[in-house]
Chains A and B, each alone.
Chain A
Amino acid sequence: MLKKKMLSRNSKGRFTTYGIVIAAWIIMEIFMRAGLMSSHLEGLLVPMTYYAIVAVALNLCVGILGELSLGHAGFMCVGAFSSALFSLVTDGVMPDGVRFLIALVIGVIVSAIVGFLIGIPVLRLNGDYLAIVTLAFGEIIKNIINAMYLGVDSKGVHISFESQMALNMEPEGKTLINGAMGVTGTPHDANFTIAVILLLLALVVVQNFIDSRDGRAVMSIRDNRIAAESIGIPVTKYKMLAFTISAAIAGMAGVIFSHNIATLQSTSQYFGYNVSIMILVYVVLGGIGSIRGSVIAAVILYLLPELLRGLNKYRMLIYSVVLIAVMIINWAPKAIEKRTAFFDSIRKGMKRNGTA
Chain B
Amino acid sequence: MMSFLTSFVNGLSLGSIYAIIALGYTMVYGIAKMLNFAHGDFIMVGCYIIFIFSSNLGLNPVAAILIAIVLCTLLGITTERVAYRPLRNAASPLAVLITAIGVSYFLENLALLIFGADTKSFTSVVPWAGISLFGGSLQIQGITIVTILVSLLILIFLQLFVHKTREGQAMLAVSQDRGAAMLMGIDVNKTITLTFAIGSALAAVAGALLASAYPSLTPYTGAMPGIKAFVAAVLGGIGSIPGAMIGGLVLGIIEILSRTYISSQLADAIVFGILVVVLIVRPTGILGKNIQEKV
Contacts and interface: CB of A to CB of B under 8 A. Distances in A.
Interface of A: 1-6, 62, 68, 121, 124-126, 128-129, 132-133, 135-137, 139-140, 143-144, 146-147, 161-162, 225-227, 273, 277, 280-281, 284-285, 288, 313-314, 316-317, 319-321, 323-324, 327-328, 330-335
A341 to B, nearest CB: 16
Given A62-B94, A129-B283, A143-B268, 14 more contacts: A2-B94, A3-B93, A129-B279, A133-B276, A135-B231, A144-B266, A147-B263, A147-B265, A284-B94, A288-B92, A316-B109, A320-B105, A327-B102, A332-B87
Interface string B217-256: 0000000000100110010001000000000000000000
A320 B106 contact: yes
A284 B275 contact: no
A59 to B, nearest CB: 12
Given A320-B109, A334-B86, A128 B276 contact: no
A126 B280 contact: no
A162 B266 CA distance: 10
B94 A324 contact: no
A143 B95 CA distance: 29
A194 B109 CA distance: 36
Contacts of B83: 324, 328
Contacts of B276: 121, 133, 136-137, 140
Instruction: Among A3, A137, A316, A328, find the residue whose CB has the most chain B CB atoms closer than 10 A.
Output: A328
A162 B284 CA distance: 35
Contact of B230 (A62, A132, A144, A335): A132
B35 interface: yes
Contact of B95 (A121, A227, A284): A284
State the 10 A-B residue pairs at the shortest beta-carbon distance, nearest first. A320-B105, A136-B272, A331-B95, A323-B102, A332-B86, A320-B106, A324-B102, A143-B269, A147-B265, A331-B90
B89 interface: yes
Interface in B143-192: none
Contact of A285 (B98, B113, B234, B266): B98
B259 interface: no
Interface in B94-114: 94-95, 97-99, 101-103, 105-106, 109-110, 112-113
Contacts of B272: 136-137, 139-140, 143
A25 to B, nearest CB: 29
Given A133-B279, A143-B266, A317-B113, A328 B86 contact: yes
A126 B283 contact: yes
B127 interface: no
A229 to B, nearest CB: 10
A311 B91 CA distance: 34
Given A124-B280, A161-B265, A324 B227 contact: no
26 contacts: A1-B93, A124-B280, A126-B283, A128-B35, A129-B234, A129-B238, A129-B283, A136-B231, A140-B272, A140-B273, A143-B272, A147-B269, A162-B265, A226-B293, A280-B97, A281-B101, A317-B110, A323-B98, A323-B102, A324-B103, A324-B106, A327-B87, A327-B98, A327-B99, A331-B90, A333-B89
Contacts of B227: 273
B92 A277 contact: no
Interface in B116-145: none
Contacts, number: 141
Instruction: Among A128, A146, A162, find the residue whose CB has the most chain B CB atoms closer than 10 A.
Output: A128
Given A1-B93, A2-B94, A321-B106, A139 B86 contact: no
A321 B108 CA distance: 12
Contacts of A313: 112-113
B275 A280 contact: no
Interface residues of B, number: 46
B180 to A, nearest CB: 17
B295 interface: yes
A225 to B, nearest CB: 8
Given A317-B109, A319-B105, A332-B86, A129 B285 contact: yes
B108 to A, nearest CB: 8
A91 to B, nearest CB: 28
Nearest to A273: B227
Given A320-B105, A327-B102, A139 B269 contact: yes
Given A144-B266, A331-B95, A124 B106 contact: no
B130 to A, nearest CB: 32
A261 B30 CA distance: 44
A333 B276 CA distance: 36
A114 to B, nearest CB: 14
Instruction: Among B106, B263, B284, B293, find the residue whose CB has the most chain A CB atoms closer than 10 A.
Output: B106
A6 B95 CA distance: 13
B48 to A, nearest CB: 16
Given A2-B94, A147-B266, A328 B87 contact: yes
Contacts of A3: 93
Contacts of B35: 128
A146 B105 CA distance: 26
B26 to A, nearest CB: 12
A324 B266 contact: no
Contacts of A288: 92, 94
A144 B273 CA distance: 11
A330 B98 CA distance: 12
A111 B89 CA distance: 37
